[in-house]
Structure 1
Amino acid sequence: MVLGLSGGQLFGAAMLLGGAVVLLASARYVWRASAVVRASTVDSLAGVDPGSLVRLSGTAEQGDDETLTAPFSGSESLVLRYAVEERRLSPYLLPWFVTIHERAGSVPFRLRTPESVVDVTEPTRTVTLRADRVATVALHETPPERIERFERRTDALPSTTVWHARQFGIGPVLDALSLGTRRYTEARATPDEDVTVVGRVTEAGGVDPLVVSDRSPASTLRRMAGTSLVGLAIGAFVVALGAVLFVG
């Protein structure tokens, strides 16, 4: 015994601590993501205090800044998230696509609502736009020129991984599972597209965006907080089990 506690109680205390950490971290992110439903829906910032959390929907228009060029499609974008996924074996030995490279960004733009034009002034923190699969490239295929150039110039993206290797005797099996195949996706808001912006009103009368989305508030919340909701459930279960063991 340690400090008068049995082995089972010590294990329960460790589970309580670990579960509490998971629970608090997940709850913090869920609360942050819930801004999309907590925000006040407005069409104009007239009379809205700086710092207020608002949700505006309208048409995205180019501001004074140049647009972003999407790396795979070449589309001119105001808001952009792109990702490279690679087909690998999961821990359960089932093939799935794993994100191996992802970036997001935006430029300041204007949002035309039914009542006003609002400046979206800062880079957005989260992009939950519907993704477009630009290309899927199997291991032995040559990617489109634009994608090939992107991979060549991006140091953070390995050109080959262990899933590209074909060991003697098992190569046909790996090929049949399409391991090493890569998918290239872009989620983007281009000029004249309808989007929803959630953010805080700035002193200058614009919006500092937390989220740019093309989904409903509830769908955006599920998209942002899905993993954390699972973390909440796991954390709560571990805390409950740890409490039972600790009380003994």
Structure 2
Amino acid sequence: MVFGLSGSQLFGVGLAVVGTIVLAFSARYVWRATSIYRAEVVSMLGETTPGALVRVSGTAQQGDADLLSAPFSGNDCLALRYAVEERRLSPFLLPWFVTIHELAGSDAFRVRTAEADVDIVEPARTVTLEREIVATVPPSDEPPERIARFERTTDAVPVTTYWRSPPSLVRPLTRRLSLGTRRYSEQRAMPGDEVTVVGRVTETGDGIDPLVVSDRPPSQTLVRMAKTSLVGVCLGVFVVALGLVLVLL
């Protein structure tokens, strides 16, 4: 026993701590998702108070910064989110695509409304846009040159994994289930696209520090952002409750 706690109680404490961490991170993201409704709708900054949470919608335009180059398609864009997924076995032994690398961001750009050009001056924390599958590559095939170059130069994405190069004994089964297949997707905001940006007015009052860049109505944006985190909230609550039960038994 440690500190008067049995083994099961210590395990319960550990579960409660882990569950609290999962709950905190998931709840924080859900709270960010609700910002699209909590924000004040504006079409120009004008007399808006610095630090105020605002929502602006309009046509995305290039600002003073260079355009970003999407890694898989090569398209120039203002905001970008890309992901590499690999088909693996789930805990329930069913094949599914698991995200093995994902990155999102933006550079400075402008949103043209009916009344003004509003500067988006910082990288976006969350980018949620229409998703395009650029390529789907079985493990037996070579990816397009641009994607192959990306994987060679990005340490965060392993060129090969157990699922792409399994032992020869199980290879017929993994190939039949398409395990190891990789899917490369991009979400892009390009000049001329209609976007909604939620963020805080800068201290100087002449731009927005963005929290969210989206191309969907507020309700769809909220659902898209919150649905994954709600699973985390539920999981966190369950793990905390289970840990407390073990501690109190």
Q: TM-score range by the shorter chain?
A: 0.7 to 0.9
Deviation string 1:191-242 (CA, Å, 9 cap, x unpaired) is 0000100000111411111110111222222222223222322333445555
Against the structure 1 CA distance between its residues 15 and 173, is the aligned structure 2 distance closer, same or farther, given a 3 Å change threshold? closer
1:199 and 2:209 are equivalent in the alignment: no
Alignment length (residue pairs): 248
- Shift of residue 88 of structure 1? 1.1
Q: Which residue of 1 aligns with 2:160?
A: 160
CA distance in 2, matches of 1:9, 1:72: 49
Q: Which residue of 2 aligns with 1:228?
A: 229
CA distance in 2, matches of 1:14, 1:145: 46
- Shift of residue 142 of structure 1? 2.1
Q: Which amino acid is 2:231 matched to?
A: V
Residue pair 2:45, 2:205 contacting (<8 A) in 1 also: no
For 1:162, what is the secondary structure of its paired residue? coil
Deviation string 1:147-173 (CA, Å, 9 cap, x unpaired) is 222222223221111112242332221
For 2:85, what is the secondary structure of its paired residue? strand
Q: Which amino acid is 2:199 matched to?
A: G
Q: Which residue of 2 aligns with 1:182?
A: 182
- Shift of residue 9 of structure 1? 7.0
Q: Which residue of 2 aligns with 1:213?
A: 214
User: So what's the TM-score if we normalise by structure 2?
Assistant: 0.88
CA distance in 2, matches of 1:177, 1:10: 41
Residue pair 2:84, 2:185 contacting (<8 A) in 1 also: yes
CA distance in 1, matches of 2:172, 2:245: 50
CA distance in 1, matches of 2:142, 2:11: 53
1:145 and 2:145 are equivalent in the alignment: yes
Against the structure 1 CA distance between its residues 11 and 196, is the aligned structure 2 distance closer, same or farther, given a 3 Å change threshold? same
Against the structure 1 CA distance between its residues 6 and 87, is the aligned structure 2 distance closer, same or farther, given a 3 Å change threshold? closer
Q: Which amino acid is 1:58 matched to?
A: G
CA distance in 2, matches of 1:15, 1:168: 39
For 2:163, what is the secondary structure of its paired residue? helix
Moved more, 75-84 or 99-108: 99-108
CA distance in 1, matches of 2:18, 2:101: 29
User: So what's the TM-score if we normalise by structure 1?
Assistant: 0.88
For 1:229, what is the secondary structure of its paired residue? helix
Q: Which residue of 1 aligns with 2:32?
A: 32
CA distance in 1, matches of 2:208, 2:163: 44
Identity of aligned residues (%): 62
Q: Which of 1 and 2 has greater Rg?
A: 1
Against the structure 1 CA distance between its residues 18 and 43, is the aligned structure 2 distance closer, same or farther, given a 3 Å change threshold? same
Q: Which amino acid is 2:235 matched to?
A: I
Q: Which amino acid is 1:32 matched to?
A: R
For 1:160, what is the secondary structure of its paired residue? coil
Unaligned runs of 5+ in 2: none
Deviation string 1:19-69 (CA, Å, 9 cap, x unpaired) is 444434432332233212211111111121111100111000011221011
Residue pair 2:49, 2:205 contacting (<8 A) in 1 also: no
Any residues of structure 2 matched to 1:34-183 within 5 Å, and which? 34-183=34-183
